[in-house]
């Protein structure tokens, strides 16, 4: 009778029988950082922005991402285990880029050998690049032209911006905006099924001061650029990660 009563109590408390999750966390957004300079041609719908890919010499961006995701996981599920993964093999980034048009499940298969190294992992949190129209956040709306993907900085030298609510004085001075355009997915390792995923379109625009008008890049120091990009990544992962890992 006591055993039967205990069984009923467990059924009444789903959390008591929930298997502890072990998350492998893998970021594949940091092989390069994009510097995008707004170049708008009147009457053109094409993306005419000047884009420069800066190849990263180390895994610093991906480490930043996986540590931010891990922090969000620990806050949402304190008892969960985590294993952090990064790759410095360009072939891995390229394989995922080729697979993503066929869906996140295909991308998972491309990184499956890496996940096998995370012994006992039940779920993978996979962070990949996401392409979307430029929407750089201002206090009263969004600005931007063309498309953005991954992580980097969007620059505008000044002039009219594509926003109904944009600040004219800010538009004239130009702006710099660190951004993170990513997809955060949770995948069941055993089945390869994508349980949940959300798209991140995060940014933080800063107007250039009078002293650097026309050169928004110079309006932030190297240390400040690093801090601002880190802040955007942490804010967005803290917002999205609890929602995707809540899916069962």
- DSSP letter string, 128-140: EE-EEE--EEETT
Q: Tell me: pLDDT of 57 over 60.
A: yes
State the pLDDT at residue 70: 98
Q: Tell me: pLDDT of 13 over 60.
A: no
Q: Which of 167-171, 180-184, 233-237 has the lowest mean pLDDT?
A: 167-171
pTM greater than 0.85 (yes/no): no
Residue 92 in any domain: the answer is yes
State the pLDDT at residue 45: 59
Strand runs (DSSP E) across the chain, as ranges? 22-27, 32-37, 50-55, 81-85, 123-129, 131-133, 136-138, 141-143, 147-156, 175-188, 194-203, 206-207
* Higher pLDDT, residue 164 or 212: 212
Pairing of strands 131-133, 32-37: unpaired
* Rounded Cα distance, 180 and 50, in Å: 18
Q: Which residues contact 192 (CB under 8 A, 6 or more apart)?
A: 105, 108, 109, 112
**Torsion, Cα of 74, 33, 162, 142 (10° steps):** 10
In this predicted model, what pLDDT tens digit does every residue of 96-109 receive, in sequence order? 999 999 999 999 99
Best-predicted range by mean pLDDT (15-19, 84-88, 137-141, 170-174): 84-88
* Rounded Cα distance, 55 and 43, in Å: 33
Residue 81 in any domain: the answer is yes
- Counting the structural domains of the chain, the total is 1
* Rounded Cα distance, 41 and 61, in Å: 32
Residue 32 in any domain: the answer is yes
- The whole-number average pLDDT for the span 207-219 is 66
Q: Show the domain range for 138.
A: 20-245
What's the whole-number average pLDDT of the chain? 85
* Rounded Cα distance, 86 and 116, in Å: 13
- What's the DSSP call for residue 219? G
Judged on CB neighbours under 10 Å (0-12, 13-18, 19+), 202 is buried
Residue 2 in any domain: the answer is no
Q: Tell me: pLDDT of 231 over 50.
A: yes
- The whole-number average pLDDT for the span 139-163 is 79
Residue 38 in any domain: the answer is yes
């Amino acid at each position: 009778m006591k055993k039967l009563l205990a069984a009923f109590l467990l059924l009444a408390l789903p959390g008591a029988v929930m298997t502890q999750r072990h998350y492998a966390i893998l970021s594949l957004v940091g092989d390069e950082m994009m510097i995008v300079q707004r170049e708008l041609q009147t009457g053109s719908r094409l993306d005419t922005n000047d884009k420069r890919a800066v190849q990263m010499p180390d895994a610093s961006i991906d480490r930043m991402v996986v540590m931010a995701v891990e922090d969000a996981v620990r806050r949402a599920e304190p008892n969960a285990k985590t294993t952090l993964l990064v790759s410095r093999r360009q072939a891995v980034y390229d394989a995922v880029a080729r697979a993503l048009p066929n869906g996140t499940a295909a991308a998972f298969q491309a990184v499956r050998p890496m996940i096998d190294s995370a012994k006992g992992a039940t779920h993978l949190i996979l962070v990949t690049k996401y392409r979307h129209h430029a929407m750089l956040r201002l206090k009263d709306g969004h600005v931007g032209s063309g498309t953005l993907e991954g992580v980097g900085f969007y620059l505008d030298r000044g002039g009219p911006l594509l926003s109904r609510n944009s600040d004219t004085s800010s538009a004239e001075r130009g702006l710099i905006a660190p951004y993170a355009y990513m997809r955060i997915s949770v995948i069941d390792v055993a089945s390869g099924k994508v349980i949940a995923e959300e798209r991140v379109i995060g940014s933080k625009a800063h107007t250039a001061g009078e002293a650097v008008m026309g050169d928004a890049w110079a309006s932030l120091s190297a240390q400040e650029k690093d801090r601002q990009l880190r802040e955007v990544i942490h804010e967005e992962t803290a917002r999205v990660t609890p929602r995707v890992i809540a899916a069962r």
